[in-house]
C-alpha cells in the first residue's frame, strides 16, 4: 500500500513538472517558434509513416477548385448508395468539424480514406464586426506505395463519374439555332419532355437491341477516340415520310444517353441572298 502511495506521489510530481515546463515554454518561447517547431516535428514523423495525405481545398486562391466539386459529387453519391454510417468528430477547443466515411472507398483493391474538414475563420473586412467564413476541403489518406495509382487512375475515375452525375441530374434541353435568341445568342433552349424511349418504340427487337448496344458503346468510348485521334461522333441517317417515328427515335436516343438535342434549322443558317 505504501509503495502504491509513493508511485502516485511520484506521478503527481512528474505531472506537475511537465505542467510547469509547458507554462515556461509558452512564456519564454514565442508562439511562432512553437508552431514552426510543431510543424517540423510532424513533418519528421511523417517520413516514418507509411501513409501520405493530400488536401483538396474548395478554393484555389481566388478560383473555385474543380477537383473539389468532383470529389464532393462522387462522395455524396457514394454515401447515399453504400454507406449507412458517417463518422463525425471535433477536436477539443476547435471549431473544425470533420466527417468521414466509416466504410472506406476501394479502387482496384486499394483502400482510400476521405475526410471533409470545415473550419470557421474570421474574414478580414472593413466592417466594424468581422464576418465569419468557412474554409472547406477534403483530405485524401492513402498508402505511399499506392500514390501513383490513386493520383492517376482514381482521380480520373472520380472526374468521369462526377460528369456522369451532373449529366444525369441536369434537365434535358432541346436547342434551336435562332438568331433572334436572347442577348444575341444563336441558340435558344427549352426543356425537353418527350416521353419516347426504346421500350415504347415499335420496331424489330433485334434491331432495337443492336442500336442500343451501339449507342452505349459510343458513349463509353471517348477515351478510345481520343487515343486514336478520331472525332468522337456517331451518325445515323433517319428517313421516311412524316409519322414513321423519326422524331421518336431521336427522343429515345437522347433519353437513353441523357444527351441534349440540337435542332439545326438550315433556313436559319442561310445567308441573305443565297439560294
d(CA 16, CA 23) in angstroms, rounded, equals 11
| 141 within a domain of the structure (yes/no) | yes
User: What per-residue confidence (pLDDT) applies to 201?
Assistant: 92
Mark whether 103 and 117 lie in a shared domain. yes
Global confidence as pTM: 0.50
- Whether 18 is in a domain gets the answer no
Same domain, 57 and 150: yes
Are 102 and 146 found together in one domain? yes
pLDDT at res. 212: 94
Residues 135 and 231 in one domain: no
32 domain-assigned = no
Domain that holds residue 226: 173-269
Taking the CA of residue 118 as centre, how many other CA atoms within 13 Å lie in the half-sphere pointing to its CB? Answer: 9
**196 backbone dihedrals φ, ψ, rounded to 5°:** -70, 135
Q: How confident is the model at residue 126, as a pLDDT? A: 46
For residue 11, is pLDDT > 90? Answer: no
Residue 275 in this model has a pLDDT that exceeds 50: no
In a domain, 24, yes or no: no
Tell me: do 160 and 226 sit in the same domain: no
Instruction: Determine the pLDDT at residue 213.
Output: 94
C-alpha cell read off for 43: 513533418
* Region 137-149 average pLDDT: 86
Q: Are strands 51-57 and 132-143 parallel, antiparallel or unpaired?
A: antiparallel
Among 35-49, 79-93, 102-116, 159-173, name the one with the lowest average pLDDT.
79-93
Which H, E and C letters describe 82-97, residue by residue?
A: HCCCEEEEECCCCCCE
What are the pLDDT digits (tens) for 203-261?
A: 999 999 999 999 999 988 888 888 899 999 999 999 999 989 999 999 999 989 888 89
Q: What total number of domains does the chain contain?
A: 2
Residue 215 belongs to a domain: yes
Domain final residue, candidates 135, 167, 199 = 167
pLDDT tens digits along 20-62? 666 666 666 666 766 776 666 666 555 667 888 888 888 877 7
Q: Tell me: the pLDDT tens digits for 157-195?
A: 888 888 888 877 777 888 888 655 555 567 888 888 888
Q: Domain boundary residue among 120, 152, 167?
A: 167
Identify whether residues 62 and 119 lie together within a single domain.
yes
Tell whether 12 is covered by a domain: no
Q: What is the pLDDT, as a whole number, of residue 43? A: 65
Q: Is the pLDDT of residue 198 over 90?
A: yes
| C-beta of residue 99 within 8 angstroms of C-beta of residue 86 | yes
Report whether pLDDT(67) > 50: yes
Backbone angles phi, psi at 113, to 5 degrees: -130, 130
Q: What is the pLDDT of residue 247?
A: 92
Same domain? 118 vs 221: no
Last residue of a domain, one of 129, 152, 167: 167
55 has which bridge partners? 139
Amino acid at each position: 500500500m505504501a509503495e502504491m502511495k509513493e508511485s502516485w506521489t511520484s506521478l503527481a510530481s512528474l505531472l506537475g513538472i511537465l505542467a510547469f515546463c509547458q507554462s515556461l515554454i509558452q512564456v519564454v518561447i514565442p508562439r511562432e517558434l512553437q508552431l514552426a517547431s510543431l510543424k517540423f516535428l510532424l513533418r519528421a514523423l511523417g517520413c516514418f509513416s507509411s501513409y501520405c495525405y493530400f488536401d483538396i481545398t474548395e478554393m484555389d486562391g481566388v478560383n473555385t477548385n474543380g477537383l473539389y466539386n468532383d470529389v464532393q459529387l462522387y462522395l455524396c453519391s457514394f454515401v447515399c448508395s453504400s454507406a449507412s454510417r458517417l463518422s463525425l468528430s471535433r477536436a477539443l477547443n476547435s471549431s473544425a468539424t470533420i466527417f468521414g466515411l466509416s466504410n472506406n472507398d476501394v479502387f482496384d483493391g486499394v483502400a482510400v480514406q476521405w475526410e471533409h474538414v470545415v473550419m470557421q475563420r474570421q474574414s478580414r473586412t472593413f466592417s466594424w464586426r468581422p464576418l465569419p467564413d468557412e474554409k472547406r476541403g477534403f483530405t485524401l489518406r492513402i498508402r505511399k506505395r499506392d500514390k501513383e495509382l490513386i493520383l492517376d487512375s482514381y482521380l480520373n475515375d472520380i472526374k468521369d463519374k462526377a460528369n456522369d452525375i451532373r449529366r444525369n441530374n441536369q434537365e434535358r434541353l432541346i436547342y434551336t439555332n435562332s438568331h433572334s435568341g436572347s442577348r444575341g445568342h444563336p441558340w435558344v433552349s427549352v426543356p425537353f419532355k418527350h416521353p419516347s424511349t426504346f421500350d415504347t418504340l415499335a420496331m424489330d427487337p433485334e434491331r432495337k437491341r443492336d442500336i442500343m448496344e451501339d449507342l452505349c458503346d459510343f458513349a463509353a468510348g471517348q477515351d478510345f477516340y481520343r487515343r486514336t485521334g478520331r472525332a468522337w461522333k456517331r451518325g445515323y441517317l433517319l428517313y421516311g415520310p412524316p409519322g414513321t417515328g423519326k422524331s421518336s427515335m431521336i427522343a429515345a436516343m437522347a433519353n437513353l444517353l441523357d444527351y441534349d438535342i440540337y435542332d439545326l434549322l438550315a433556313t436559319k443558317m442561310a445567308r441573305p441572298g443565297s439560294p
